[in-house]
Amino acid sequence: MAIREDEVAAAATGINTVSTKLLAFSIGASVSGFAGAFFGAMMGTVTPDNFQFAVSVTALATVVLGGIGSIAGVIVGALLIALVINWVLPNLGGWTATAGHTLGVSQLSNVNYSQYTYIIFGLILITVMVLRPGGLLPSRARKVELQTGTEPSSLAEVQGQT
């Protein structure tokens, strides 16, 4: 965290920035490699078709919705995005058709909502960014930065350890 915020100050306090960055990269690459191996084993074959634009949009929506820097927030975001993809979007056509028949608006029953998946994700992202810029469960440090507009005086204060 110190390297991300101010690399010169981190180096001045004795942190070896080169080895720390390499360690962070190595850990990230290792976790990604294991995840890719499990994904390949689960799918049976890995092709470029498995990694279309929708995968990137879903990952972005998950992180932004849940909260950047918050593991619990990302889990909540993943659950909500999975709920939207697997339950809301498939049933949305039936719900609007029922509402259309009830209200006497027959045009609502003719809408194919599977074409509007990216628009719905976009609306979710915009709504969360406007109403909750830190996500549904932001990290404490991010929450303090967004509320005060300045950085707190110490990491211990942000983490509530004082």
Residue-wise pLDDT for 45-91, tens only, equals: 888 888 888 788 888 888 888 887 788 888 998 998 889 888 888 88
Do 33 and 57 lie in one domain? The reply is no
Mean pLDDT, residues 122-135 taken together? 84
pTM: 0.64
Give the up-direction half-sphere exposure of residue 153: CA atoms within 13 A in the CB hemisphere.
2
**Would you say 135 and 67 are in contact if contact means Cβ atoms under 8 Å apart?**
yes
Q: Tell me which of 112 and 131 has the higher pLDDT.
A: 131
Same domain as 159, residue 105: yes
Is the domain of 36 the same as that of 56? no
Is the domain of 91 the same as that of 105? yes
Report whether pLDDT(153) > 60: no
Asked if residue 136 lies in contact with residue 65, where contact means CB atoms within 8 angstroms, the answer is yes
Residue-averaged pLDDT of the chain:
82
Residue 2's domain spans which residues?
A: 1-49
- How many distinct structural domains can be found in the chain? 2
For the chain, helix (H) and strand (E) counts, in that order, are: 9, 0
18 pLDDT higher than 90: yes
* Measured distance CA(51)–CA(54) in Å, rounded: 8
